Amino acid sequence: MLMPKRTKFRKVRKGRIRGQASSGNHIAYGDFALQSQGHERITSRQIEAARQAMTRYIKRGGKIWIRIFPHTPVTKKPLDVKMGSGKGNPEYFAAKVKPGTILFEMQGVQLDQAKEAMRLASHKLPVKTRFISRHEV
């Protein structure tokens, strides 16, 4: 699973994810990509599940790039704990994703194979996505 080696602060505030993606919104490495169409936090487990779904489908063919990284720690309080008494402990890390962000890229496979692999990966993610290719753009 992806997680940062170290962070400046152990806990961060939730914040809001607003606006369109201004960086990481174009295909940089591969020929095909999965682009987000909504605002969401994607956990490191969801990223790993999507990656596994793609690699299993293409059967060691081609190359996959993960273009997002879960920097943000997400805290959670234990069950049956009363309100108050501070913020909970960090449980997992998440990536904040805006509309237009490229999530995954792929190269070295056929169009229909890449499309199906990305479709399987999109089912593992909480955000609505679309398939794009370098030739269309």
**b/e sequence 62-94, b meaning 16+ C-beta within 10 Å:** bebeebbebebbbbeeeeeeeeeeeeeeeebbb
Q: pLDDT digits over 45-90, tens only?
A: 999 999 999 999 999 889 999 999 999 999 999 999 999 999 999 9
In a domain, 11, yes or no: no
Q: pLDDT digits over 22-31, tens only?
A: 999 999 999 9
In a domain, 95, yes or no: yes
Q: Provide the pLDDT for residue 60.
A: 82
pTM, two decimal places: 0.93
- Comparing CA positions, the residue from 92, 100, 90 lying closest to residue 34 is 100
Give the three-class secondary structure for 41: strand
In a domain, 110, yes or no: yes
Mean pLDDT, range 114-131, rounded to an integer: 97
In a domain, 59, yes or no: yes
Number of folded domains that form the chain: 1
**CATH number reported for the structural domain that contains residue 98 in this entry:** 3.90.1170.10
**61 vs 121 pLDDT, higher one:** 121
Q: Look up the domain containing 106 and give its range.
A: 32-74+90-133
In a domain, 103, yes or no: yes
Q: Which helix (H) or strand (E) holds 132?
A: strand 129-133
